Homo-oligomer: A and B are copies of this chain.
Amino acid sequence: MEDVAARAGVSRALVSLVMRGSPKVSDQRREAVLAAAEELGYRPHAAARSLAQRRSNTVGVVVNDLHNTFFADVADGVHEHASAHGFRLLLNAVWRRDEDEEEAIESLLEHRADAIVLLGPRVDEAVLVEAAASVPIAVVGRHLDLEDIDVVINDDVCGAELAVEHLVGLGHRDIVHVDGGRGAGARFRREGFERRMVGHGLEPRVLAADYDEASGVNAVAQLIEHDALPTAIFCANDLSAVGALDRLEGHGLTLPDDISLVGYDNTSIAGLRHVSLTTIHQPRREMGARAMQMVLERIQGSRSEAARDVIEPELIERSTSGPVPTKRVPS
């Protein structure tokens, strides 16, 4: 910095001002400083700056599963909103194991991130609470009700109800829900399904499964084996729906003529023409942006009570759902 100051013929303090983008510097000197910095290959030292400044202008993001494009989209939203407000992201992807997640959080705390946004975390609530003691925390995609932790979720109950409503509107009465087990939000999707089915005087058949492709395949295989295929299936997420789709087609059924299928999440897979799955959409980018906004408010101190945003999902109709067949296909 001293060298830059010398070369630009100004004081060290002035260089500091320029590097911080202060407005109280004449354009002329500013350019001189920038030129000198360029020539000398000078680059501000982020660590030194955040040490002196006592803030890092960085928010940490912990992505539970980088392979899930759902979270990638949410991260997009966080990033956009963050950079619009001068914050840098410190992404910390995590692979499966819970300990990794704890470590990622610890790492972000050591880096003194000004806030942390968690995407679909599976870690113990206690860990989150402890972290929240030292930094603002927002969580996306997990139903949490903790003091000091902001939350952005979609209304899973409502989403499931949308699916049921859609299918019932098409004349379906025999609908099976392939659930998401212990997955995030799965409990609520199941709940919404059951509630709305009962509301329509229908029997809510639920098959225990998980959030992956194999679960969908197995669930349908089971239905076929017991000769218990419904006229419509509502899967707890898109991945299991794709599995179900495959098994159904493998059984010689045509969608939506013989049977209807609805997924959840509207991931990019659902949108592939080859799949074209009717599904429930969550505004992912927006959810990420909201979470960022929440921690921003905390950083600026404009809010101190926990915030909780429940976002309305939306049904996307594609080619796997249609009117109930007039007669049942032999299974």
Given A72-B67, A89-B92, A91-B91, CB of A110 within 8 Å of CB of B274: no
Residues 30 to 60 of chain A near chain B (Cβ within 8 Å) = 41, 43-48, 50-51, 56
Chain B residue at minimal CB-CB distance from A73: B67
Chain B residue at minimal CB-CB distance from A276: B246
Q: In the docked arrangement, what's the CA distance between A111 and B44, Å?
A: 9
Given A47-B56, A51-B48, A56-B47, CB of A93 within 8 Å of CB of B95: no
Given A269-B269, A272-B213, CB of A88 within 8 Å of CB of B69: no
The answer, yes or no, to whether A152 is at the interface (CB within 8 Å) is: no
Whether the Cβ atoms of A110 and B66 lie closer than 8 Å is: no
Residues 91 to 108 of chain A near chain B (Cβ within 8 Å) = 91-93, 95, 106-107
A87 CB to nearest chain B CB (Å): 11
The answer, yes or no, to whether A146 is at the interface (CB within 8 Å) is: no
1/0 per residue A264-293: CB within 8 Å of B? 000011001111000000000000000000
Q: In the docked arrangement, what's the CA distance between A7 and B75, Å?
A: 41
Q: Which residues of B contact A274 (CB under 8 A)?
A: 242-243, 245-246, 249, 274-275
One of B75, B93, B245, B246 near A79 (C-beta < 8 A): B93
Number of interface residues of A (CB under 8 A): 47
Q: Which residues of B contact A75 (CB under 8 A)?
A: 66, 93
Q: In the docked arrangement, what's the CA distance between A163 and B90, Å?
A: 40
Q: Which residues of B contact A304 (CB under 8 A)?
A: none
Q: Which residues of B contact A76 (CB under 8 A)?
A: 66, 95
One of B41, B45, B110, B246 near A51 (C-beta < 8 A): B45
* Listed A/B pairs (8) with beta-carbon separation below 8 Å: A43-B109, A47-B56, A67-B73, A67-B268, A89-B93, A91-B92, A246-B272, A269-B269
Binding site for B on A (CB under 8 A): 41, 43-48, 50-51, 56, 66-67, 69, 72-73, 75-76, 79, 88-93, 95, 106-107, 109-112, 133-134, 213, 217, 242-243, 245-247, 249, 268-269, 272-275
